Amino acid sequence: MSNAVKFTHFGHIAVDVSVEKQNNDTSILNVVVEDTGIGISEHSLKRLFQPFVQADSTSTREYGGSGLGLSIVKSLLELLSGSIKVTSEPGKGSCFSFQIPIEEAENESLPSLPKPKHTLQMFNEPLSVLLVEDNRTNAMVAQAFCQKYGLKVQWVTDGLQALKLVAKTSYDLILMDNQMPNLGGIDTTKIIRHELKLTTPIFAFTADAQEETRNAFFNAGANYVIVKPIKETTFYEALLFLKEHQEKKRINA
């Protein structure tokens, strides 16, 4: 659904969910997501579910993303004994459908959710954070962790927006995604460091755990790299690193 929204500029997006009963206690959950988006070529369809693959070389530059989403979907479905298929035509849209065997269960009332924990104040005063992330889900997770530790967050979805803000606003921390539309995280970091001459701590987010990507961020001027998916443990460790950075800066001042 996220991809359908991202790649559909006009027309419609339709989601159909149904359950097909089998002869035994097992049923089949069918989900179909159909759109009138940009579509995918026949050549690209053959490798679409491979890791770090997108429909063409311009997709990352124009739309962002790492090319991991559909690979993860396929792996999860295989673990659940399910399957996925896709039909598409360039310029006309795509249709993704998947099936999962499910077991029927009694409708039991769910326990109430625990109340959220109190904000943990790691810093003497709330820090201002610029979050640069094009994926809404990742942004929601990052914002939730920031709020838990008393950080005030402003969110933008690409590097160009980030550059406009940092040129006129001072932040205590910049959280920078890697693959984004218009201007990626590494290039944005370079501009912040070498053209704007800003020393604001920059923590990079990347789904690519390869050493080459990490080094590219560090060479661009990033202070820390967090590998996605974002987990609270790794986020907390990053904040500890930031706290130590602030202490050293204060002592040397």
pTM of the model: 0.59
Contact residues for 70 (Cβ-Cβ < 8 A; gap 6+): 3, 48, 49
* pLDDT of 21: 87
The average pLDDT across 221-242 equals 90
Could you give the residue range(s) of every CATH 3.40.50.2300 domain in the chain? Answer: 128-252
Q: Which helix (H) or strand (E) holds 171?
A: none
Q: Are the C-beta atoms of residues 237 and 217 closer than 8 Å to each other?
A: no
Task: Decide if pLDDT at 63 tops 80.
Answer: no
Instruction: Pull the structure tokens for residue 180.
Output: 């984004």
Could you give the residue range(s) of every CATH 3.30.565.10 domain in the chain? Answer: 2-103
What is the identity of the amino acid at 151?
A: L
Q: Are the C-beta atoms of residues 174 and 188 closer than 8 Å to each other?
A: no
Q: Which of 63-77, 102-116, 214-228, 235-249 has the highest mean pLDDT?
A: 214-228
Architecture of domain 128-252: 3-Layer(aba) Sandwich (3.40)
Architecture of domain 2-103: 2-Layer Sandwich (3.30)
Q: What is the pLDDT of residues 106-126, one digit of tens each?
A: 665 545 544 445 456 678 788
